[in-house]
Copies of this chain bind each other. A is one copy, B any other.
Amino acid sequence: MKLSTRARYGTRALLDLARHEGEKPVQLKEIAGRQNISLHYLEHIIAPLVRAGIIRSTRGARGGLQLTRQPKDVRLSEVIQLLEGTISPVDCIGNPESCERADTCVTRDIWCEMKKAIDATLDSVTLQDLVEKQERKEAPLKQNA
């Protein structure tokens, strides 16, 4: 039940992108540098997000990445789904045919509840939430200002 580095790096990359967005695209290289992730590896991780249309990329000089939506409209459930494939703890949830006992299997019901709990958690968080949370963490001194 581990999250892959793809899911973790990818989420951090998206968060980084959300925080550094401006008029101009953000370069993958910058994100890789700031987040201390191998550029080549990050290319692979970002790919499904571009394909899914969460990120728009422009090639060539002065190119880079941009979010296609506002951070508040990007839910972590969607992001993780894209990065991790599926969040299901067992295959028989998505396709019951994969296991002959699926319909009488009581443990399956439990794994299904697990999935729901995970989904609900990730669905309740947006990129915007993460951005705000990080800003609060980084500026704790403001309280005394």
Contact between chains at B76 and A110 (CB < 8 Å): yes
Contact between chains at B90 and A3 (CB < 8 Å): yes
Contact between chains at B88 and A1 (CB < 8 Å): yes
Contact between chains at A117 and B106 (CB < 8 Å): no
Number of copies: 2
Q: Is A133 an interface residue (CB 8 A)?
A: yes
Contact between chains at B138 and A104 (CB < 8 Å): yes
Contact between chains at B107 and A114 (CB < 8 Å): no
Contact between chains at B122 and A107 (CB < 8 Å): no
Contact segment of A7-15, A21-29, A46-54: A7-15
Residue from A8, A15, A107, A111 with most neighbouring chain B CB atoms (10 Å): A107
A82–B110 CA distance with the chains assembled, in angstroms: 17
Among candidates B76, B89, B134, residue contacting A1 with C-beta atoms closer than 8 Å: B89
Contact between chains at A3 and B2 (CB < 8 Å): no
Contact between chains at B1 and A87 (CB < 8 Å): yes
Q: Is A55 an interface residue (CB 8 A)?
A: no
